[in-house]
Amino acid sequence: MPATYRALADTFVTESGIVVVHCSDPRYQPYCQEFLQKGLGVKHYSLIAVPGGAHFLTLSEYLPKFSWAGWRWTKFLFELQKVTRVILIAHDDCRWYQDLRFGFRPRPMREHQIEDLQAVAREIRTRFAGVRPELYYAKMDAGQVTFEAL
Ligand SMILES: [Zn+2]
């Protein structure tokens, strides 16, 4: 590998007005990028990729410091640009959701994740007027990754 790597820069890009929140799971990252670029036509976006994706924005009672930091990052991105789209992606077999630290789950993980995405979407609409979050659920199966609109 050369000591210096150079990429061609698109000098016309400033802020995109698009914020994406998804899990940092390396199994899904390349497919999330492909879905955003080829599926939704989104080339440039602000990204928050953390374990569990948007889950950290739901933890205001259980882990309030997580929630505070998450909403602070989100607010920062909204202050930086006029955000028109927020894209939230959850995925199947998420190891963050499987972690026992979140206690007993009386419902299937997918249902839990979708409820969390919907709760975050409601909160985003409350905090940031005029933004309509888009929700997707990714699943890897039989050599394909599908992104279902919710
Ligand atoms: Zn995950």
Whether 94 contacts 52, CB under 8 Å: yes
128 in Cβ contact with 140 (< 8 Å):
no
What is the pLDDT confidence band of residue 6, given thresholds at 50, 70 and 90? confident
pLDDT at res. 64? 76
User: What integer pLDDT is reported at residue 100 of this predicted model?
Assistant: 64
What are the distances in angstroms from CA 120 to CA 8, 16, 30?
36, 21, 24
Per-residue pLDDT, 105: 65
Give 91 Cα–ligand 1 centroid separation in angstroms: 6
Q: Report whether pLDDT(20) > 90.
A: yes
Question: Is a pLDDT exceeding 80 seen at residue 125?
Answer: yes
51 C-alpha to ligand 1 centroid (Å): 6
CATH of domain 18-149: 3.40.1050
Instruction: Using pLDDT thresholds of 50, 70 and 90, give the confidence band for residue 50.
Output: very high
Residues 71-122 have pLDDT tens digits of 999 999 999 988 999 999 999 999 998 886 666 567 788 999 999 999 999 9
pLDDT at residue 2, as a whole number: 75
Q: Which residues surround ligand 1, an ion (CB under 5 A)?
A: 23, 25, 94, 96
Token pair belonging to 33 = 């990028």
The residues that bridge with 146 in the sheet, in sequence order, are: 139
Mean pLDDT confidence for 4-22: 84
Query: Mean pLDDT for the chain?
Result: 89
- Average pLDDT of span 40-64: 88
- What is the CA(55)–ligand 1 centre distance, in A? 10
Nearest-angstrom CA–CA distance, 55 and 113: 8
Per the confidence metrics, is the pTM higher than 0.75?
yes
Taking the alpha carbons at both ends of the chain, their separation in whole angstroms is: 42
What average pLDDT does range 21-49 have in this prediction? 95
pLDDT reported for residue 121: 96
Ligand 1 centre and the CA of 7: distance in Å? 29
Name the residue ranges covered by the structural domains of the chain. Answer: 18-149
